[in-house]
Structure 1
Amino acid sequence: MAARIEHLVTSGTFSLDGGTWDVDNNVWIVGDDREAVVIDAAHDADAIARAVGDRRLTAIVCTHAHNDHIDAAPELAASTGAPVLLHPDDLPLWKQTHPDRAPDAELADGQGISVAGIELTVLHTPGHAPGAVCLYAPALAALFSGDTLFAGGPGATGRSYSHFPTIVESIRDRLLTLPAETVVHTGHGDTTTVGAEAPHLQEWIDRGF
């Protein structure tokens, strides 16, 4: 049974710095018929659990700790027994949403997460958030970028805990060096490829996304 990528869209709100906005989030499930990992447990733990089905959920991986990417993580963990994984630099953001429930384990740059016979490599890509990470699965020619890279440009850096020069450096040094055919599965909106985004790096810098 080959590993595959499944996609679920959930809806809720994103809140930071006193504002709240309606958002649709991409939830990514990577696995086979026996086991899976969830990338970003957003908004609806029941819907995510239904998508996972009777497979063993081995991890709930958080690309960063903005509330719209982690709000369903504790409930999903409680129902499945899967650990919640987060980069420690995002703990201040995590605590804004879940002050009484810590993540179960830390993510580290270069760490491998094995599932269904393939490996997801953790790439620390700060900028949108201090502990933002992407997950690279070369066996699937896939990158799960969270809110670091979207179709059309970098993630937002206009709010607390974010920094534009840092996100540009992360994208330039960690993501645009990947093979051009790598499909970028984003935290919101449409997928893209590394090859489609790479030519626009200088344009993003000039525009000051």
Structure 2
Amino acid sequence: MSAIHIDKVVTSGTFSLDGGTWDVDNNVWVVGDDAECVVIDAAHDAAAINEAVGSRRLTHILCTHGHDDHIDAVADLSSLYPDAKVLIHDGDRMLWDRVISDPPDGALTDGQRIPVGGSQLKVLHTPGHSPGACCFLLEDADVLFSGDTLFQGGPGATGRSFSDFGTIIESIRERLLTLPAETVIHTGHGDDTTIGAEAPHLQEWIDRGH
């Protein structure tokens, strides 16, 4: 039985792109055991995330993608945990560079495995919402952290710069809907869902074309 547990921190702030700004609530995921953990998407509030980390060793700050609402607390959180490695896919460096002046510590790559608490998070490159968008699969628990690639009710938005609807549909079809139906999806915003709940609706999303 895995000792891994998952903590959800909901933080509030703004998302800005293409000249617009919107108020958003983000899901920040802290994944680990009692000794160490990783943070998925350091959004808005480093203090709240730090409280969830607690006394554990933070090994990685992982970014599902480079939109500012998902990385705007990275610098503050990283200053609290200088040994934690900040990783983002190279495809989103142009988004990262708009928000953070220092480079990340490394690049996420498809198939890479991030160790945490005796388990592993597998990196799935799922472009579409952004070119470097990634999901993280906790394989031994059938849990997926989907960022903004897949939500309860459909794919992430593709109406702004650097996004593409056809690409996100291909990513979801080929990389996510092939996972076991019982896989729980922890999203970047909003409520959880499962692969089994979303898979039957793929054609509806394609027909809707949003």
Q: What range is the shorter-chain TM-score in?
A: over 0.9
Distance (Å, rounded) in 2 between the aligned partners of 1:140 and 1:27 = 19
How big is the shift at 1:65? 0.3
Name the residue aligned to 1:105: 106
Aligned Cα RMSD in Å? Answer: 0.7
Aligned pairs (5 A) from 1:147-186: 147-186=148-187
Deviations along 1:85-105, one digit per CA (max 9) or x if unpaired, are: 00001000111111x211111
Using the TM superposition, give the Cα deviation of residue 127 of structure 1 relative to its aligned residue in structure 2, in angstroms: 0.1
Query: Which structure 1 residue ranges, 4+ long, deviate > 3 Å from structure 2?
Result: none
The percentage of aligned residue pairs carrying the same residue is 68
CA distance in 2, matches of 1:7, 1:49: 12
Q: Describe how 1:80-119 pairs up with structure 2 within 5 A.
A: 80-81=81-82, 82-98=84-100, 100-119=101-120
Q: Which moved more, 1:80-89 or 1:146-155?
A: 80-89
Shift in Å at residue 17 of structure 1? 0.2
Instruction: Provide the C-alpha distance between the structure 1 equivalents of 2:139 and 2:42, rounded to a whole number of angstroms.
Output: 23
Deviation for aligned residue 1:72: 0.3
**Correspondences of 1:20-31 after superposition (within 5 Å):** 20-31=21-32
The aligned counterpart of 1:58 is 59
**Amino acid of the residue matched to residue 69 of structure 1?**
H
Size of the aligned set, in residue pairs, is 208
Per the TM alignment, residue 175 of structure 1 is displaced from its structure 2 partner at its CA by 0.1
Give distance in 1, aligned partners of 2:11 and 2:181.
Answer: 29
Q: Deviations over 1:93-134 (max 9, x none)?
A: 111111x21111100000000100111000000000000000
What residue is the counterpart of 2:130 in the other structure? 129
> Scaled by the length of structure 1, what TM-score is found?
0.98
1:50-89 deviations in whole A, cap 9, x for unaligned? 1101100000000000000000011111111211100001
In 2: Cα distance, 1:37 partner to 1:157 partner: 28
Residue aligning to 1:207: 208
Partner residue, 2:15: 14
| Separation of aligned partners in 1, 2:179 and 2:43 | 27
Q: Would you say the 8 A contact 1:136–1:143 is kept in 2?
A: yes
Q: Measure, in 1, the Cα distance between the counterparts of 2:81 and 2:140.
A: 26
Counterpart CA distance in 2 for 1:151 and 1:130 is: 21
Q: Which runs of 5+ in 2 are unaligned?
A: none
Query: How far off its partner does 1:141 sit?
Result: 1.4
CA distance in 2, matches of 1:40, 1:158: 21
Equivalent position of 1:36 in the other structure: 37
Q: Is contact 1:74-1:84 (8 Å) kept?
A: no
SS of equivalent residue, structure 1 residue 2: coil
Unaligned runs of 5+ in 1: none
TM-score, length of structure 2 as denominator length:
0.98
